[in-house]
């Protein structure tokens, strides 16, 4: 049985705790035995007490000196460091946490990028944190120098309880293995995917229409979170969690008629274990709360185990997830074993061949019998397939509500290409150019993963993007953060209208002017060897749901006032970094972006003559 996070962390820190006072003891022993010097008791007490801060200071100063020296030797320079007043940049952390409640998402990073440029050292607790919004530097990490960067041990530890050794939380050979076994499954479009989308989209939109007929606004984020969860679990396991069976939440200004529909909080902010949770919601709430608890670890950096000292807070939420996933994985492995024992398994059948009706689980068991490997991989893909798609569909509907002319044009394309009621096909999706441009613009302004990171394996230099300036030195084992959210909104990369919502930028001359010369300015799906395998799957699912919405509804109205907690504070709504100068939805982020307290809307049902 493994130790709890806190004792395990302290055990690893034992050398750092023991060595400084041990050194004091050794020095006093030498002084006493060889030089007959007997320090007074008060001096010994001071020496032992201050041995830790002195040793730590010496270590930090020596480490920083070595980095500066290596940078000079290479003719390079460390990025500018964000100014701070107190040791350990405590004041910077205080600023971030304070502004987090009242200001735009990652507001300090926006400001520092303006002050320090597109790369700077966001130093926290005496450790370097390089931060960049420069496409060339991001390209270096993700593509051209890919082997020299990894997710890193810190991120792995923070995410391990939830994601294990899955493709999004592994490096090196383990990552290659997961990538290799998963890639064939996403290599082509399959009709069964649209069967899944259609079934769950119909269920979701029927519930929306029923609620709207009551005269009550709907939390669209809650709906698409359920839609994408049911679609993802059926796609992965061949069996969905049926989260759409649970009643939709009511906004706080309306009374809920049933015990299970009283919560007005979206699934991203609801407890996983209360008695008021509908049985169909257990899996969704448990997974979401585990995701939230995992994200909180990032705030405490390396010391997160001290805040979960006697128990893993993420693990306590995963019981409902395990109860659903484990029996399905065990059954799949049992069926495989029976086939092998009966001699009916075709060993010559290519593992990379994927049947049209094959689930990801069925695909994975062809490669391994390891229950944990299979489970980790499916949960990793579920996180990607559910949360990122849910985020995009949430902000897509927000954009349609805020831009009726875009809705009208997009709906006209849907009716022209697909028709008022027909199910869209893969050819339809490819044919709808404005639909693709619209989705791209949503992904540009509200990317599902606003900030990401890599860790340098060895010392690296980045060619300075500013001519005449020395190259950038990146020390070994340094966390390097990058923000596509900020990069996607840079006016020097996207033009003076970068903060304006305009899908036509992906159709007109601006494509050739900005995007074609530098494709790395647009990275909603990452890039390089770790580019999202399910990119086309996501486009298909988003396009399918948007098509069904626009076939069924002709207008969307934002109704955040129905649930006042969803109204963003003035510092968010009127932020200088807000889209169109005003955002009436409160964008937040854990591992992925979401609308805090929901996106409440009314939709006008279409009438077809």
- The pLDDT of residue 212 is 96
pLDDT at 259 over 80: no
> Which residues are CB-neighbours of 314 under 8 A, at least 6 positions away?
161, 162, 290, 293, 294, 297
Per-residue pLDDT at 213 exceeds 90:
yes
**Cα distance between residue 524 and residue 440, in whole Å:** 8
Residues 6+ apart with CB under 8 A from 301: 124, 125, 127, 154
Q: Is the CB of residue 300 less than 8 Å from the CB of residue 332?
A: no
| Residue 485 confidence (pLDDT) | 98
User: Model confidence at 608, in pLDDT bands (50, 70, 90)?
Assistant: low
pLDDT at residue number 526: 93
pLDDT of the residue at 262 = 47
Query: pLDDT, tens digit, for every residue of 77-130?
Result: 999 999 999 888 888 888 888 888 899 999 999 999 999 999 999 898 888 999
Answer yes or no: is pLDDT of 497 > 50. yes
pLDDT at residue 591 tops 90? no
- Complete DSSP assignment for 107-118: HHHHHHHHHH-S
Higher-pLDDT residue of 262, 173: 173
State the pLDDT at residue 345: 60
pLDDT in tens, 292-335: 899 888 878 788 999 999 999 999 999 888 999 999 999 999 98
Residue 260 has pLDDT above 70, yes or no: no
Least confident range from 401-405, 495-499, 586-590: namely: 586-590
pLDDT class of 276 with cuts at 50, 70, 90 = low
Calpha distance 250→263 (Å, rounded):
7
Tell me: the pLDDT tens digits for 542-587? 999 999 999 999 999 999 999 999 999 999 999 999 999 999 999 9
pLDDT of residue 181: 87
Looking at per-residue pLDDT, the higher value among 529 and 262 belongs to: 529
Q: How confident is the model at residue 193 (pLDDT cuts 50, 70, 90)?
A: confident
Q: Is residue 277's pLDDT more than 90?
A: no
Q: Residue 352: is its pLDDT beyond 90?
A: no
- Asked whether residue 348 carries a pLDDT value surpassing 50, the answer given is no
| Contact between 254 and 298 (Cβ < 8 Å) | no
Confidence of residue 347 (pLDDT cuts 50, 70, 90): low
- pLDDT category at 269 given cuts 50, 70, 90 is very low
Quote the pLDDT of residue 261. Answer: 52
As a whole number of angstroms, the distance between CA 129 and CA 474 comes to: 10
Predicted local distance difference test score (pLDDT) of residue 267? 42
Q: Quick one: pLDDT at residue 273?
A: 40
Position 462 confidence tier, pLDDT thresholds 50, 70, 90: very high
Q: Where is pLDDT greater, at 350 or 171?
A: 171
Q: How confident is the model at residue 192 (pLDDT cuts 50, 70, 90)?
A: confident
Is residue 265's pLDDT more than 50? no
Contacts of 407 (CB under 8 A, 6+ apart): 400, 401, 550, 555, 556
Q: Taking 50 as the threshold, does the pLDDT of residue 1 lie above it?
A: yes
The 3-state DSSP class for residue 161 equals helix
Mean pLDDT score, 219-237: 94
- Is the pLDDT at 57 greater than 80? The verdict is yes
Which of the four pLDDT bands, split at 50, 70 and 90, describes residue 272? very low
- The mean of the pLDDT values for the chain is 90
Rounded distance between C-alpha atoms, residue 133 and residue 494, angstroms: 13
DSSP secondary structure letters along 477-530:
T-EEEEEHHHHTT-HHHH-TTTTS--GGGGTSTHIIIIITT-GGG--TT--GGG
Q: Please say if the pLDDT value at position 362 is more than 80.
A: yes
R_g of the chain computed on alpha carbons: 27
Residues 6 or more apart whose CB falls under 8 angstroms from that of 537 comprise 186, 193, 385
SS3 state of residue 374: helix
Give the residue, 4 or 553, on which the prediction is more confident. Answer: 553
Alpha-helix residue ranges (DSSP H) falling in 79-150: 90-99, 107-116, 135-139
């Amino acid at each position: 049985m493994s130790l709890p996070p806190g004792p395990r962390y302290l055990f690893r820190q034992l050398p750092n705790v023991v060595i400084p006072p041990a050194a004091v003891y050794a020095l006093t022993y030498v002084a006493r035995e060889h030089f007959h010097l007997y320090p007074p008791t008060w001096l010994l007490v001071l020496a032992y007490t201050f041995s830790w801060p002195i040793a730590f200071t010496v270590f930090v100063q020596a480490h920083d000196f070595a980095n500066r020296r290596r940078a000079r030797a290479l003719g390079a320079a460390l990025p500018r460091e964000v100014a701070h007043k107190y040791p350990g940049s405590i004041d910077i952390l205080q600023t971030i946490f304070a502004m987090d409640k009242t200001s735009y998402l990652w507001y300090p990073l926006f400001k520092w990028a303006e002050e320090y440029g597109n790369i700077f050292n966001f130093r926290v607790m005496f450790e370097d944190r390089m931060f960049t919004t420069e496409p060339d530097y991001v390209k270096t990490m993700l593509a051209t120098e890919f082997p020299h960067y990894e997710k890193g041990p810190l991120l792995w530890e923070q995410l391990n309880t939830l994601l294990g050794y899955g493709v999004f939380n592994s490096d090196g050979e383990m990552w290659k293995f997961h990538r290799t076994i998963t890639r064939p499954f996403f290599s082509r479009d399959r009709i069964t995917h649209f069967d899944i989308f259609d079934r769950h989209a119909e269920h979701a939109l029927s519930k929306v229409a029923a609620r709207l007929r009551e005269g009550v606004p709907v939390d669209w984020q809650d709906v698409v979170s359920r839609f994408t969860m049911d679609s993802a679990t059926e796609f992965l396991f061949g069996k969905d969690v049926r989260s759409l069976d649970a009643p939709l939440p009511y906004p706080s200004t309306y009374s809920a008629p049933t015990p299970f529909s009283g919560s007005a909080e979206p699934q991203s902010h609801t407890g996983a274990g209360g008695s008021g949770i509908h049985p169909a919601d257990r899996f969704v709430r448990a997974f979401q709360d585990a995701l939230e608890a995992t994200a909180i670890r990032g705030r405490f950096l390396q010391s997160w185990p001290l805040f979960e000292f006697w128990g893993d807070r993420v693990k306590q939420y995963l019981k409902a997830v395990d109860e659903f996933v484990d029996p399905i994985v065990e059954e799949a492995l049992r069926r495989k074993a029976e086939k092998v024992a009966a001699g009916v398994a075709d060993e010559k059948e290519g593992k990379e061949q994927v049947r049209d009706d094959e689930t990801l689980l069925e695909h994975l068991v062809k490669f391994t019998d390891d229950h944990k490997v299979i489970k980790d991989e499916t949960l990793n893909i579920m996180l990607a397939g559910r949360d990122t798609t849910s985020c995009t569909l949430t902000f897509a509907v927000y954009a349609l509500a805020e831009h009726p002319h875009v809705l009208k044009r997009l709906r006209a394309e849907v009716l022209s290409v697909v028709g008022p009621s027909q199910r869209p096909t893969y050819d339809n999706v490819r044919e709808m150019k404005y639909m693709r441009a619209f989705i791209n613009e949503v992904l540009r302004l509200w990317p599902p993963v606003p900030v990401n990171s890599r860790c340098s394996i060895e010392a690296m230099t980045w060619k300075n993007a500013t001519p005449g300036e020395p190259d950038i030195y990146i020390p070994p084992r340094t966390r390097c953060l990058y923000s596509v959210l900020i990069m996607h909104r840079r006016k020097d990369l996207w033009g003076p209208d970068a903060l304006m919502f305009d899908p036509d930028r992906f159709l007109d001359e601006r494509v050739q002017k900005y995007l074609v010369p530098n494709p790395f300015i647009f990275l909603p799906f990452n890039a390089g060897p770790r580019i999202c395998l399910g990119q086309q799957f996501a486009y298909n699912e988003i396009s399918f749901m948007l098509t069904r919405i626009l076939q069924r509804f002709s207008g969307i109205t934002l109704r955040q006032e129905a649930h006042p907690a969803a109204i963003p504070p003035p510092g968010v709504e009127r932020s200088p970094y807000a889209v169109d100068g005003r955002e009436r939805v409160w964008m937040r982020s854990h591992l992925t972006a979401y609308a805090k307290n929901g996106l409440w809307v009314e939709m006008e049902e279409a009438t077809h003559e």
